[in-house]
Chains A and B, each alone.
Chain A
Amino acid sequence: MKSLPDPSSKTGVGTAGAQEEIVVSIRSDLDIVAARQRGRTLAESLGFGPSDSTLVATAISEVARNILVYAQCGEVRLAPVENSGKRGLMIIAADQGPGIADLHLALQDGYSTSRSLGLGLPGVRRLMDEFEIQSSVGGGTRVVVKKWQANSR
């Protein structure tokens, strides 16, 4: 697993810094709607097509739903990213919840009912191009995913 971006800086914005990082705190279903809306708008402004924008919204739904279910509250951060000419979108989902004891298990299909259908974190991993997760018991969970714009690859 690659090292995660430094959480202390508004990382990832980099050269595309014209747009600030968007922070949406997640406490209810309505916050999920807000995060999806911001994510979709950002994706479209970065040139993502309708299908990829939908997948971005889906990934936001899944990570935000995890926050509500396992940590009750947390936040979703959205930012444009750039890497050697590739443009993309980064989603960071962070919470101070109980954390995940066994990350390997949590990323396996079939670990829970929804995951037996390939939803949840394993599903998010398949929809996105990059996926990183950090979690410790009592220390919360932080999921960082990126989707690169297909045309700029």
Chain B
Amino acid sequence: MSAKPTLVQPGRAAAIGKATAGPKGRHKGGIGGVATQASSADWKQRYAAALAAYLREGKELQLQRAYELGRAALGEGRGVVELVMEHHQILLRDWTLRPPAEPRQALQRGGAFLREAISAFEMTHRGFGDASAALRRMHEFVEKEAKRIAYALHDGAAQLLAVLHLKLEDLARSLPPAGRSRVRETRQLLDEIEGQLRALAHEIRPAALDDLGLTAALQTLVESFTQRTGIPVHCDFRQSQRWPPEIETTLYRIVQEALNNVRKHARARSVTVAVTGQPDAVFCAIQDDGVGCDPARLFQPGGDGLGLIGIRERVQALGGKLEVRSAHGQGTGIFVRINLEGRSWPLKS
């Protein structure tokens, strides 16, 4: 199956590492509400006024304002970098017009005011680690549930159907020929149901992922993709080593979702799937030669890319990066890097 050379070069890896500013875009509106232009101008004015008052008077009242303004900025989806920039611009403007009589005091007060303004961000910042851990636990839980359901379908319901087959066969023997052919029809339907159940169980959670590992599970996934769509897939799986289960599951889900997108939207002639391991990281790339799209669209809630948002969250919860590169007429590429550093999992080859 391996045809093309390795897709994910170290250079590419570095590019993925830097990709934070890529497809995410600006955090518009925030959670607390939409920062309109009017409210933005108003916020800047109030910030400037409170800062000027603090430089003059040095009172706690103004520090409280600084804190509340920072808190409001956070709620409106303003970034901490933006706030710091704004702070410095105000000072620069102010001090260019009227150089402070006591520069040392002015600098100290400016710093104290800024410290208060960004203090609310400190709470959010500290909460991020907790949120990430919670997300990771949730994904583990979902995957455990998927495993349970897949098992119940495959080993529970499908086995019962097999027993039912035998019973019907028994029954058919005791029937006149006309009755037998009707039982045969029934059994054909049963076959179909059984096939569907097994396929569903596999889709929810392929047993191969646990038993044989990522590469084997991906081979099966890719083969069934080609069977269903007629689109050939070039695979480049250099390693047969095992990675921590949460990484293998996540990579499997990424390829699954990416191939899903290819099938639905790409109108591709071929796809390349590569998984490469290095001592410190695992890389995965899925590239097609289809019609392409605006990568930002893939991450809009409610758009076609809902699955991709979920995938990116999973990657981020593992401390990895996901980047999508696409343009109209130039295919789509999904690149993932997940770091192995700091993991206690013993890497077996």
Instruction: Tell me the B residues contacting A by CB distance below 8 Å.
Output: 31-32, 60-61, 63-64, 67-68, 71, 74-75, 112, 115-116, 119-120, 122-124, 126-128, 130-131
B64, A36: Cβ atoms closer than 8 Å: yes
Give Cα A105 to B202, complex, Å.
Answer: 37
Q: Give every chain B residue within 8 A of A123 (Cβ-Cβ).
A: 120, 123-124, 126-127
Q: Give every chain A residue within 8 A of B119 (Cβ-Cβ).
A: 54-55, 57-58
Interface residues of A in 106-145 (CB under 8 A from B): 109, 113-114, 116-119, 122-124, 126-127
Q: Give every chain B residue within 8 A of A55 (Cβ-Cβ).
A: 119, 122
Q: Give every chain B residue within 8 A of A72 (Cβ-Cβ).
A: none
**Would A126 and B64 be within 8 Å (CB), given that A116-B31, A117-B32, A117-B74 are in contact?**
no
User: What secondary structure prevails in chain A residues at the interface with B?
Assistant: helix
Nearest-CB distance from B109 to chain A (Å)? 12
Question: Which 4 pairs show the lowest CB-CB distances between chains A and B?
Answer: A118-B127, A123-B123, A37-B60, A126-B126
Nearest-CB distance from B132 to chain A (Å)? 12
Q: Give every chain B residue within 8 A of A118 (Cβ-Cβ).
A: 123-124, 126-128, 131
Nearest-CB distance from A3 to chain B (Å)? 25
A58, B122: Cβ atoms closer than 8 Å: yes
A61, B126: Cβ atoms closer than 8 Å: no
Q: Give every chain B residue within 8 A of A146 (Cβ-Cβ).
A: none
B60, A36: Cβ atoms closer than 8 Å: yes
Chain A interface residue number, banded: 20 to 34
A54, B74: Cβ atoms closer than 8 Å: no
Nearest-CB distance from B10 to chain A (Å)? 36
B63, B74, B126: which contacts A57 (Cβ < 8 A)? B63
A30, A62, A127: which contacts B126 (Cβ < 8 A)? A127
Give Cα A104 to B127, complex, Å.
Answer: 16
B126, A58: Cβ atoms closer than 8 Å: no
B75, A109: Cβ atoms closer than 8 Å: no
A127, B116: Cβ atoms closer than 8 Å: no
Q: Give every chain A residue within 8 A of B116 (Cβ-Cβ).
A: 54, 57-58
B32, B115, B127, B128: which contacts A51 (Cβ < 8 A)? B115
Additional A-B contacts beyond A30-B61, A117-B124, A126-B127 (15; CB < 8 A): A33-B64, A36-B60, A50-B115, A57-B67, A57-B116, A58-B67, A61-B64, A113-B31, A118-B127, A119-B74, A119-B120, A122-B127, A126-B126, A127-B123, A127-B126
Nearest-CB distance from B59 to chain A (Å)? 8
A126, B123: Cβ atoms closer than 8 Å: yes
